[in-house]
């Protein structure tokens, strides 16, 4: 993976930037930033089959070599496919990968450790490892086990190193005691270093298809900043980006402070891609872009579709009060019962080209699955 910041039009905010990510495995495709990585649930894009998703992406970037990156949650892979099933599949098909198992070979995989479907993390951590509440019960995974799964089984194109997500859960307007924060800082740096060293071992062995790493940081105060270990600060062969852990990002100005700290550590910010998880509302995304964030994930497109809504926010927002702009329309509303216009007249997606607001209103109110599918697309 390579990331390059591209020249951009003059802006009032120097933090905003556009860039391009390239992968050796996908030489004929480019991935422009800022970009949204598409959320998956247990290996599939919600409401859309693999074939329909291919068609949707093809229509979205018609005549272009642009594509998208898929987000895969680490905990999902523990249960579907289970580790046992995936192990058997890989033993029988040594040349195949998780992508082949899921029939999603056309897209790069981005493996994250936070499940963005929930407002707070489901994982807990201490010095011994990180815990997850799975369907089969609570399971513990050490940093060594995480590296084994990531490098030997899942083999994503990009992954976020294991880090402490638990203390960043906001409870009673607090983000944890200083003792919890120190433990989190120590654990995150220890686990991050384990991931870096394991990856370097594979590089030294000249293995191919090694996942690229994004290092996770958080910021509480000048003394409580968890950043890249000094020995790896300028090693962009091992660390390709920075993850701002959203569970701790109550104030987006912390992004700016973290970047300033990285600059003080003499890290080359032009070579690092910046990722934030869970900030997926259009206005939140714009705020993050203004602070130089390159990659986002989230479930906003799927959540509003499951609520029977279509995303209709304007590209030009009023300066006086952008929060008052109507971002969605509710297709369950009876006002759309006899509305035979498309959702958006200028949109060229399958839904807008072939179906009307009235038809989608009918599907939603008769509880037809097709309504969710069309709105998601």
The confidence score (pLDDT) of residue 171 equals 47
CA 299 vs. chain centroid, Å, equals 10
Q: How do strand 328-330 and strand 70-73 relate by DSSP bridges?
A: unpaired
Which CATH fold topology does 2-298 show? TIM Barrel (3.20.20)
Q: By the 8 A CB rule, do 328 and 304 touch?
A: yes
**Euclidean distance between CA atoms 9 and 269, whole angstroms:** 19
Q: Residues 19-63: pLDDT tens digits?
A: 999 999 999 999 999 999 999 988 889 888 888 899 889 888 888
175, 308, 327, 348, 371 from 362: Cα distances, Å: 45, 11, 22, 22, 8
Give the pLDDT of residue 61.
86
Q: What's the pLDDT score for residue 121?
A: 47
Backbone angles phi, psi at 163, to 5 degrees: -150, 165
Asked if 282 contacts 289 with a C-beta cutoff of 8 angstroms, the reply is no
Half-sphere exposure of 146 (CA within 13 A, CB side): 29
Q: What is the pLDDT of residue 56?
A: 87
**Can you list the positions of beta strands (E) in 208-272?**
212-219, 225-226, 239-244
List, for the chain, all residue ranges whose pLDDT scores fall below the cut of 50: 121-122, 168-172
CA 262-144-24 angle, 5° bins = 60
Average pLDDT across the chain, whole number:
84
Sequence ranges of the domains in the chain: 2-298, 322-376
Torsion of CA 42, 45, 48, 52, to 10 degrees: -120
User: Residue 172: what pLDDT?
Assistant: 47
Element (H, E) at 259: helix 253-264
For residues 267 and 233, the answer to whether their CB atoms sit within 8 Å is yes
pTM for this model (two decimals)? 0.89
What is the rounded CA–CA span in Å between residue 62 and residue 68?
Answer: 13
Q: If 0-12 CB within 10 Å is exposed, 13-18 middle and 19+ buried, where does residue 161 land?
A: buried
């Amino acid at each position: 993976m390579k990331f390059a910041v591209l020249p951009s039009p003059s802006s009032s905010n120097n933090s905003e930037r556009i860039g391009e990510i390239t992968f050796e495995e996908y030489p004929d495709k480019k991935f422009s930033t800022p970009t949204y990585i598409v959320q998956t649930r247990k290996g599939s894009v919600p409401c859309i089959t693999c074939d329909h998703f291919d068609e949707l992406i093809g229509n979205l970037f018609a005549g272009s070599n642009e594509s998208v990156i898929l987000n895969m949650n680490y905990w999902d892979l523990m249960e579907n496919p289970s580790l046992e099933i995936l192990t058997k599949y890989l033993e029988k098909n040594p040349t195949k990968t998780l992508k082949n198992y899921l029939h999603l070979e056309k897209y790069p995989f981005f493996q994250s450790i936070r499940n963005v479907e929930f407002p707070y993390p489901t994982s807990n951590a201490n010095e011994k490892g990180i815990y997850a509440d799975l369907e089969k019960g609570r399971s513990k995974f050490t940093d060594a086990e995480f590296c084994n799964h990531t490098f030997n089984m899942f083999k994503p194109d990009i992954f976020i190193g294991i880090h402490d997500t638990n203390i960043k859960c906001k409870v009673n307007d607090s983000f944890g005691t200083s003792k919890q924060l120190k433990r989190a800082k120590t654990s995150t740096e220890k686990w991050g270093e384990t991931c870096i060293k394991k990856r370097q071992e594979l590089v030294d062995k000249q293995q191919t298809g090694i996942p690229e790493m994004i290092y996770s940081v958080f910021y509480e105060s000048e003394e409580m900043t968890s950043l890249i270990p000094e020995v790896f600060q300028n090693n962009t062969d091992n660390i390709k980006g920075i993850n701002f852990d959203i569970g701790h990002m109550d104030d987006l100005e912390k992004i700016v402070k973290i970047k300033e700290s990285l600059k003080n550590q003499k890290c080359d910010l032009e070579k690092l891609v910046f990722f934030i998880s869970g900030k997926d509302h259009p206005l939140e995304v714009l705020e993050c872009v203004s602070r130089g964030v390159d990659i986002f994930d989230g479930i906003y497109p799927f959540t509003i579709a499951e609520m029977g809504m279509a995303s209709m926010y304007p590209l030009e927002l009023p300066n006086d009060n952008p929060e008052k702009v109507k971002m969605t329309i509710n297709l369950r509303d009876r006002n759309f019962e006899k509305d035979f216009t498309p959702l958006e007249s200028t949109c060229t997606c399958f839904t807008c080209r072939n179906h009307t607001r009235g038809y989608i209103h009918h599907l939603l109110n008769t509880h037809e699955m097709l309504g969710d599918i069309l709105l998601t697309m």
